[in-house]
Structure 1
Amino acid sequence: MLIINNPSGLRHEMPEGHPERIARLETVFAVLADVDAERTEAPLATEADVALCHPQGYIDAMRAAQPTEGLVQIDADTSASPGTWEAAMRGVGGCLLGVDRVLSGAHKRAFVATRPPGHHAEKTRAMGFCLFGSIAIAARHALERHGLSRVAVVDFDVHHGNGTQDLLWDEPRALFVSSHQMPLYPGSGAVHERGGSDNVLNLPLPPGSDGQAMRSRYTSHVFPRLRDWKPDLILISAGFDAHTRDPLANLLWEAEDFAWVTRGLVAVAEEVCEGRIVSTLEGGYDLQGLGDGVLAHVTELEDRDA
């Protein structure tokens, strides 16, 4: 498999005490250091890449908002520093590179270790620590530039991927699946939100529910829906804030739950799309929980037959 690192994420600063901190990416790099995988660095995306999902006016506004020093607040909980633009653009670029490498056959699966996350960024709104919808852009890249017929995006971050849902709502070739705690930020993700072409599947989970509740929902709803959809590629928004240690939410998953859901997605991918998966880091704010979850996830993504 391929690990795509985004070291520029180490220069994306947030206010002191902010949960989406540089130490998150340092932790991910450390736990993946001994994983047997090819590694490369995330390239810069172009503005044309980002425009697959976001209008140019929004891209211009985000670029103009980047300060030359200090911090600028973009959203109630989202800030920009001098390193933010490059980190966000390389986050997009890493996801696109993962798609390119996997669809070329060079690798069966790829994981993008990056920050800031992306799944809360809507078409014209940065929010929830996110500037650009990297995974949705990757989906459109696969469809428009690689000519795929169908893709699926699975988001197991504890927060609903409202941005990905917004960006893919009217894309009938993309299935978006999200499991998330409800009620919780950002407040979206109800079962009745089904997309413009019945292409959205939301699975809200109550606070205090554990990995068994998740496993039941994935077994009965997610895996069958993916098999019916028959995507040419599965993309994953891999957030690890459903971990029982996470300070921003109230689900009770353990590392083995992230391993279990990843094994299930790999099994479906092997059935429907030659095992092809590209995963990118989203949330996870307790460093031990994040590290344990990432290692469990990436270990299951490894191609053991390679």
Structure 2
Amino acid sequence: MNATSWWHGRIMGGLASYWVYQHLGNLSPADRAEDELWQLVLERRERGEDDITVAVDELAARADANPDSYRWSHARDVNGCRVIVVDSRAARILEPGARRILDPVETQWLDRQLRGGVEHVFIGTSLPYLLPMGLHEAEAWNEAVADGAWGRRARGFGEKVRQGVDLEHWAAFQDSFRELAATVTDLASGRRGDAPATVTFLSGDVHNSYVAEVDRGPRAYGDTRILQAVCSPIRNPLPRVIRMAQSLTSRRGPVAFTRWLARRAQVPEPPFTWSLVRGPWFDNMLATVRVDGRELVLSWEAADQDDERSGPVLREVACFEV
């Protein structure tokens, strides 16, 4: 991508517009007070200067060239809940054999945020942390093959498949996946302060929606529930065959097959097991999180056109209570 004539301008435009329209609003007042670009905006406003295009473009160029120079991730404590939104795209390491969805600096930042003492912990990551198990094992298998687990020839094939069908979720970066699994398990077990009632990953970007839950087993300490809630709000329409294929990735047969492949590529067993407990759904929807003490309610709503009412009508697709 870097070798193309158009990529640099596109990534700069994307990062610059994200800072203006989204990232600035994500920051707390204290974070904005420490943001150098925002302080520059305030200084120039006092001088009657409104155009900061060059400064924003320079920030975008630096962030693209050196992801450690600017942090897009952020965390807020809101009414007894910790909300952590982690950038799982800009700080990746893509070198075969050392792939990470978060580089070491971003991983350390996330580790510092994952502490107990709150009722609920929410981890926002654009790509789901917990995929249907069959797809998770397939992406883990592909990473191992692309790194040479089945030899040099298979390595090239694995890399072509990885790039060709965008195998880019957490499952395709096993080192990062397993590190976060260990951290979240410690958090849920009370080894990082008082355990929250829930640890919930909030994600989208997979053209469907679902809820997955980790099976912590009878020996687990405490009753903290680890969940993955997915809502892909304005999704691409999928052909029926693709919807069926996605639904099958959590079924016993496909899971057994991709698990067999992964073990034969020397991929260790996942650090814990999980399953889809609701979904998948293929509507265009919005999801809402409601918290009441240690109780949590997740709901998904779609809008149906009602000609008699001359407008859309909300329809609850699903509700999941903890």
TM-score interval, smaller chain: 0.3 to 0.5
Structure with larger Rg: 2
Q: TM-score, normalised by structure 2?
A: 0.33
- Which has the bigger relative contact order, CA under 8 A and spacing at least 6? 1
- Write 1 or 2 for the structure with the bigger share of strand: 2
